Amino acid sequence: MINLPYRVALLMHLDSSIRLFDRAKKLMPGGVSSPVRAISPYPFYTARAEGPYLWDADDNRLIDYCLAYGPMILGHRHPAIVQAVAEQMKRGWLYGTPSELEVAAAERISRLYPSMEMLRFVSSGTEATQAALRVARGATGRDKVIKIEGGFHGAHDSVLVKAGSGATTLSIPDSRGVPADTAKNTLQLPYNDLPALETVLKAFPGQIAGLIIEPVLGNIGPVLPEEGYLEGVRQLTRENDVLLIFDEVITGFRLALGGAQEHFGIKPDLTTLGKIIGGGFPVGIFGGRRDLLEQVAPSGAIYQAGTFNGSPVPLASGMATLDVMEKENVLEKLNATGKQMRKGLQEIVDDLRLGYSVVGIASMFKIFFGEEPHNYVQALKCDKAGYLAFFRRMLDAGVFLTPSQYETDFISAAHSPEVIQTTLEAFSSCLKN
C-alpha cells in the first residue's frame, strides 16, 4: 500500500499516523470512515484541534483549510459552542420528544431562508437531499429528477449516478449496489448550460419531478455560475412545472446567512442545508414551500423519520454558531479574508506564469492546476497528479488543504490575516518547486 517515492518526499514525522493507519486498514475499508479521508500513501491522524489549527498524532501543527469539508466556519473549539454544548448537556441530550429548541431553531432558519416556509431537521446532508428528492417525487407523482454533472448531494442511490452518453440519455450507477432501475430515473446535465436544460425539459415533458443543484458547485470546485445561469434555471423549471431544489449544504450560511438564495436573489421550491448549521455536530435540514412540506408524514403521505432528528446538542451547537455569526458580523470578516487569500494567490500564480487559476467566492477558494473550469468536463482537464504532489508539499510546509483538486478549500473566522499571510508564503515556496 505504501507508495515509496512520496514517503521519502515527506518531511513531516508521521510515525504515529503510519502505525494507526496500519491498524485501521485491517478493520476499516481503506483504513478510513469516509473515502475522501484516504490520503495516499497514508492519512495523518488528528489528535486535537483549536482555532485554525489541527495537531496530528505526531504533534505536527497544520493550518486547516479543509475544516471538515466545510462545517467548521468558526474554526475549531470556538468557546461559544463549547459553552452551548455544555449547557445543553446539563439538560440531557436526547429526548425522543419535541423540544422548545427545535421550534426556536425552525423559526430562525425560516426567517433566514424565507423560501423554507416549513422544514424538518435530520442528521446529515445526505438525509436532507434524499428526503427533498422524495418530497419532489411524492408531491408531483413523477419519478425522474435532474442533477448537475459534478454536483454532489451525498451518498444515496438517486444521486450516485454517472451520466449516460448525452444530455437526454438516462444515467447509470456510479457505485456497485445502486440499482440500474434507480439510476435511470436521474438525468444529468452540464452546469452553466441552459440550452441543455431546455432540451431535456422538452424531451421528458410532464415526467420530471425536480432539479437538484448546488448553486455554486462546491464538490468539484468551487465552480461559479455564469451571469444569468441560475436565473435561467429558475425560469425554465418554473415554466415547465419542475421543482427547483437548491442543495445549500455548502453554500448555506457561507455565501450569506440566507445562503446562495439570498446572495443571488433566487427562490427555490425546496432547500437542503447541512454542514455549518450543526456547528460541527451532525445536522441536516430539508424544507421549502408549505404546500410541499405539508405532504410530509405525519401531516401527509411522504414518509421521513429519524431517531436523531432535531437532536438537542447538535441544534444547540448550530444555534450558538448562528449567534456568533450574527453578533460578530462573521461573514463580512470572512469575505475579506477570502478576498485576501484569492488576491494573494492570484499574484503568486501570475508571477510564476504557471497557467493555473484561482477561483472562489466568499470564504471558498481553490487553485486549479489549469484554466478556470465552468463545468465538470472542464474541471477534469486540470492536472490532478500535479495538484496532489503540491498538496503534499503544502502539508510538509504546515498547511492542510483539501486533499484533492476537486474539493473546495474553506476559510474560518479563526484564520486571521496573519495566518493567511503565512499560508500565502507557503503557497509561494511550494508552487515555485
Per CB under 6 A, the segment of 73-81, 213-221, 253-261, 321-329 that binds ligand PLP is 213-221
Nearer to ligand PLP among residue 278 and residue 338 (C-beta): 278
Q: How far is the CB of 125 from ligand PLP (least distance, A)?
A: 2
* DSSP per-residue codes, 160-224: SEE--SSTTSPPEESSTTS-HHHHTTEEEE-TT-HHHHHHHHHHSTTTEEEEEE-SSB-SS--BP
Say whether residue 252 binds ligand PLP (CB under 6 A).
no
Give CA–CA dist 396/255, Å, rounded: 31
Nearer to ligand PLP among residue 60 and residue 248 (C-beta): 248
Q: For 298-364, where are the alpha helices, taking DSSP H only?
A: 312-327, 330-352
Nearer to ligand PLP among residue 126 and residue 186 (C-beta): 126
Q: How far is the CB of 271 from ligand PLP (least distance, A)?
A: 11
Q: Are 273 and 258 in contact (CB under 8 A)?
A: no
Site for ligand PLP, residues 264 to 323, rule: CB under 6 A = 274, 284
Q: How far is the CB of 218 from ligand PLP (least distance, A)?
A: 5
Cell 466568499 maps to which residue?
Answer: 362
Region at 287 (left for phi over 0; alpha for psi -120 to 50; beta for the rest):
beta
- Cell numbers standing for residue 105: 431553531
Number of residues that bind ligand PLP (CB under 6 A): 15
Nearer to ligand PLP among residue 14 and residue 159 (C-beta): 159
Give the three-state DSSP class for 271. strand
CA angle 63, 64, 65 (to 5 degrees): 120
Q: Which of 51, 190, 218, 403 binds ligand PLP (CB under 6 A)?
A: 218
Q: How far is the CB of 409 from ligand PLP (least distance, A)?
A: 13
Q: How far is the CB of 272 from ligand PLP (least distance, A)?
A: 7
Residue 97 backbone dihedrals phi, psi, to 5 degrees: -135, 165
Helix (H) or strand (E) run with residue 399 in it: strand 399-400
Site string for ligand PLP, 117-156 (x = CB under 6 A): -------xxx--x----------------------xxx--
| Radius of gyration in angstroms for the set of CA atoms belonging to the chain, rounded to a whole number | 22
Give CA–CA dist 250/213, Å, rounded: 12
Q: Which of 88, 158, 219, 237 binds ligand PLP (CB under 6 A)?
A: 219
Per CB under 6 A, the segment of 12-20, 35-43, 88-96, 244-252 that binds ligand PLP is 244-252
Q: How far is the CB of 248 from ligand PLP (least distance, A)?
A: 8
What residue number has its CB nearest to ligand PLP? 125
Binding site for ligand PLP (CB under 6 A): 124-126, 129, 152-154, 214, 218-219, 247, 249-250, 274, 284
